Structure 1
Amino acid sequence: MAGPAVVALGGGHGLAASLEALKLVTDDITAVVTVADNGGSSGRLRDEFDVLPPGDLRMALTALCDDTEWGHTWRDVLQHRFRGEGPLAGHALGNLLITALWDVHHDPVVGLDLVGRLLNARGRVLPMAAVPLEITARVEGLDGADADGLTTLRGQVAVATTKGTVVSIALEPQDPPSAPETIAAVLEADWLILGPGSWFTSVMPHLMVPALREALHDTAARRLLTLNLEHSGETAGFTAAQQLEALVDHAPRLRLDAVLADPGAVDDEVGLRAVAGRLGADLVLAPVAQRGAPGHHDSLRLAAAYRDVFG
């Protein structure tokens, strides 16, 4: 199978869903993964060893595993999470392996490539930035707000679980370095895919790393934004159009070629088309949700939608 060179940007389950679909469309896949997680196993390893949080990187690698007994076996091993109450409790084995490789090789990209070889991965996984990032957010609707009615939250976990409405986000440090391999992949791609995923903590941070943002602007690749199937968590109460407007507010120079949405997740088609048009994009409506599980993407349906958009 040939296919276009595709770079998918995001994190967590949303990026994994996109990667599993892309494996059915092309052999040339690069995942660029957010590195701001500060919770769970990733947060513990990040704090103890001063490394990139490995969890989202692990999920992307396992999503790209070869669809053979070998690939599935090592996928399951890397996803295995230790139980109990000891020091290993809660850690995913893949997080420990990735951290060990970084400790040995002192190069995040080398470590990720080695895990990819173990999985016979159908693509490459690269970090969004070369250093761990902290997400801060200005949120309205919370107790203890300042004179503007806003509260500042710090950390991916706090932002992702807030009961307030996220107004804006920022990264610390503000000017983090990017791996050269990440920038090269974006500049050499045929298609870039943003989303789906947690909007403020997995998708939009890619637009706020300066070198990566400039590469996203300068690349000759075409750009596709995949909207979420549900407006929950960080975007609870948002319409699809408001979700897209939040992205425009944080990255006013960004141009898109297409916005992909499931019809069941579009509550204001006219408004969504208008915002997409401001970005230069066509709105593509296609059923990509699992039947009977509307909040989850169907790999085959999403792959078919990607193939149609790619032409």
Structure 2
Amino acid sequence: MKLSFWLKHKIGIKRWIFMGFLSLMFIICGMLIAVTPNSTQEKIILSLFFVLLGSVGIILAAIKTVNAIVKTINLEMCKGKVSSNEIMGKVMEKRSLSKGPKIVVVGGGTGLSTMLRGIKKYTSNITAIVTVADDGGGSGVLREDLGMLPPGDIRNCILALADTEPVMEELLQYRFKDGALKGQSFGNLFLAAMDGISDNFMEAVQKMSSVLAVTGNVLPVTLENVKIKAVLENGKVVQGESIIPSTALQEKSSIDKIVMEPGNAEALPEAVSAIMNADAVILGPGSLYTSVIPNLLVDGIRDALESTLALKMYVCNIMTQPGESDNYTVSDHVKALQNHGGKYIIDDVIVNTGEVSKGLRDKYLDKGSELVLLDKDKLQELGVGIIQGNFVKIKKGYLRHDTEKLSDIIMSAILEKNLEDMKSRAYLSSKLKEIKKSRE
């Protein structure tokens, strides 16, 4: 049932949605007042008042909205406008997805969130473990001003796994174009507000996930305020995720290794547990040194990856990234991961072998990117299996992974692995056939 269905009915839901939105604005205004320069006691009191008022308003709006929806479902079922089959269909779908394999994805950036949209069609047992080393853009501003962990990659993963209306996703992805909030995403501010009324960032993520009906779990890899440094091959040390690629290009020196500060940052226990209990763990896709590798430097993640019985796959980028992986082959990507996370953190690498038009290749070459070449012999020497496929998809003139084909190949690889749970194998086999048939 779409949002338009509820808005057409005079059940008071519009006023509660408006009240929730207005309450959120109160919270954001309160937080902005608190971080303005030269805060006085009066400003602090006013800030607390706005936050408290907004929090009460959101809780009340949520309770009233749920009550209104439940009441309307019962009423419409009596009138025959909403069939029990429709409701039962959604319930059965959720039950079906709950039988899917336990999949953990590790990384950051847009590539990770995009892949999640494909995987959630097969299983609801998804855990996204996301880097919190970002210090650029709107996330960097909120991190600096509010002392919170960067929300950007977390927000994208939550939205990828959320069951929301398109208009709601558009709202949460909206970026302000003018004023003090210029460049900020509304979704980032939403998560910042949640952080303000929560005991910690993890609780804020859970609350936002609950509000948006997220499939699975989204976890920050750590709750500690971590930053990364890159040691270039010329010996120069670059601090800050956002300037590492540009500095490497400026210095004309490739990255030798990534170091995290503090060096003893501990992984979230839930993240370690998810890896240990997974059927499959997927690293990437995403920026090699600034999105994927930082997760491996958090205490507990490397040991978990080496110890888990899960199938461990790395989704290699289709193109090289200037300042991070210039002239890298597939084996170079794998070696970088093994150097930072250990020899046994990858079983198979997923590689694109699809064709890319000359015009598009030239467009990327002008920006310093080229196709990542597959070097099978060196991968075999590293003890890593190869899963090949055509994963090319062109979106708005840019090269992206085809999420449908990528999720299909991932599920097929999991199916081939001898899982102990035969019910999960039977479910996954039928789900693969069902989804592929629906695309024909």
Task: Flag whether TM exceeds 0.5 (same fold).
Answer: yes
Taking structure 1 as reference, are residues 153 and 116 closer, same or farther at Cα in structure 2, changes over 3 Å only? same
Partners of 2:165 and 2:270 in 1: how far apart?
24
Q: Select the structure with the greater relative contact order (CA < 8 A; seq sep ≥ 6).
A: 1
Aligned-residue offset at 1:38: 0.5
Partners of 1:301 and 1:97 in 2: how far apart?
33
**Superposition pairs for residues 79-94 of structure 1, below 5 Å?**
79-84=173-178, 86-94=179-187
Find the partner of 1:74 among 168, 174, 182. 168
Partners of 1:117 and 1:272 in 2: how far apart?
45
**Superposition pairs for residues 263-274 of structure 1, below 5 Å?**
263-264=353-354, 265=371, 267-274=373-380
Aligned-residue offset at 1:276: 4.5
Partners of 1:181 and 1:221 in 2: how far apart?
16
Match of residue 18 from structure 1: 115
Match of residue 105 from structure 2: 8
Higher deviation after alignment, 29-38 or 294-303: 294-303
Match of residue 212 from structure 1: 301
Find the partner of 1:100 among 176, 179, 193. 193
Match of residue 260 from structure 2: 171
Aligned-residue offset at 1:267: 2.0
Aligned-residue offset at 1:26: 1.5
Q: Is 1:51 paired with 2:148?
A: yes
Q: Is 1:154 paired with 2:239?
A: yes
Letter in 1 for 2:407: A
Aligned-residue offset at 1:294: 7.0
**Unmatched 5+ stretches in structure 1:** 141-148
Partners of 1:287 and 1:203 in 2: how far apart?
22
Q: TM-score, normalised by structure 2?
A: 0.64
Secondary structure of 2:197's counterpart equals: helix
Partners of 2:168 and 2:382 in 1: how far apart?
40
Higher deviation after alignment, 290-299 or 191-200: 290-299
Partners of 1:177 and 1:273 in 2: how far apart?
31
Superposed CA deviations along residues 121-151 of structure 1, whole A, max 9, x for unmatched, are: 22211001111211100113xxxxxxxx321
Aligned-residue offset at 1:219: 2.0
Secondary structure of 2:232's counterpart equals: strand
Partners of 2:388 and 2:373 in 1: how far apart?
12
Match of residue 115 from structure 1: 208
Letter in 2 for 1:245: K
Partners of 1:244 and 1:213 in 2: how far apart?
15
Partners of 1:138 and 1:19 in 2: how far apart?
31
Partners of 2:260 and 2:112 in 1: how far apart?
20
Partners of 2:288 and 2:201 in 1: how far apart?
25
Partners of 1:87 and 1:43 in 2: how far apart?
15
**Superposition pairs for residues 126-137 of structure 1, below 5 Å?**
126-137=219-230
Letter in 1 for 2:392: A
8 A Cα contact 1:160 1:198, kept in partner = no
Aligned-residue offset at 1:275: 4.6
Partners of 1:81 and 1:270 in 2: how far apart?
43
Match of residue 401 from structure 2: 297
Aligned-residue offset at 1:22: 0.9
Match of residue 38 from structure 1: 135
Letter in 2 for 1:290: K
Match of residue 389 from structure 2: 286
- Indicate the percent of aligned positions where both proteins have the same amino acid: 31
Secondary structure of 2:116's counterpart equals: helix
Q: TM-score, normalised by structure 1?
A: 0.90
Structure holding more helix per residue: 2
Match of residue 75 from structure 2: none
Aligned-residue offset at 1:174: 0.5
Aligned-residue offset at 1:28: 0.9
8 A Cα contact 2:281 2:311, kept in partner = yes
Superposed CA deviations along residues 162-214 of structure 1, whole A, max 9, x for unmatched, are: 31311111000101122222222122211110011000011111111112222
8 A Cα contact 1:51 1:131, kept in partner = no
Partners of 1:271 and 1:18 in 2: how far apart?
28
Partners of 1:195 and 1:243 in 2: how far apart?
11
Taking structure 1 as reference, are residues 154 and 266 closer, same or farther at Cα in structure 2, changes over 3 Å only? closer
**Unmatched 5+ stretches in structure 2:** 1-96, 355-370, 416-440
Match of residue 146 from structure 1: none
Secondary structure of 1:261's counterpart equals: strand
Superposed CA deviations along residues 32-82 of structure 1, whole A, max 9, x for unmatched, are: 00000111111111111111111110011111122xxx4433222211111
Q: Is 1:309 paired with 2:413?
A: yes
Aligned-residue offset at 1:266: 5.0
Q: CA RMSD in A?
A: 1.8
Structure holding more strand per residue: 1
Aligned-residue offset at 1:224: 0.9
Letter in 2 for 1:138: V
Higher Cα radius of gyration: 2
Aligned-residue offset at 1:255: 3.3
Q: How many positions carry a matched residue from both structures? A: 296
8 A Cα contact 1:45 1:53, kept in partner = yes
Aligned-residue offset at 1:215: 1.7
Q: Is 1:197 paired with 2:281?
A: no
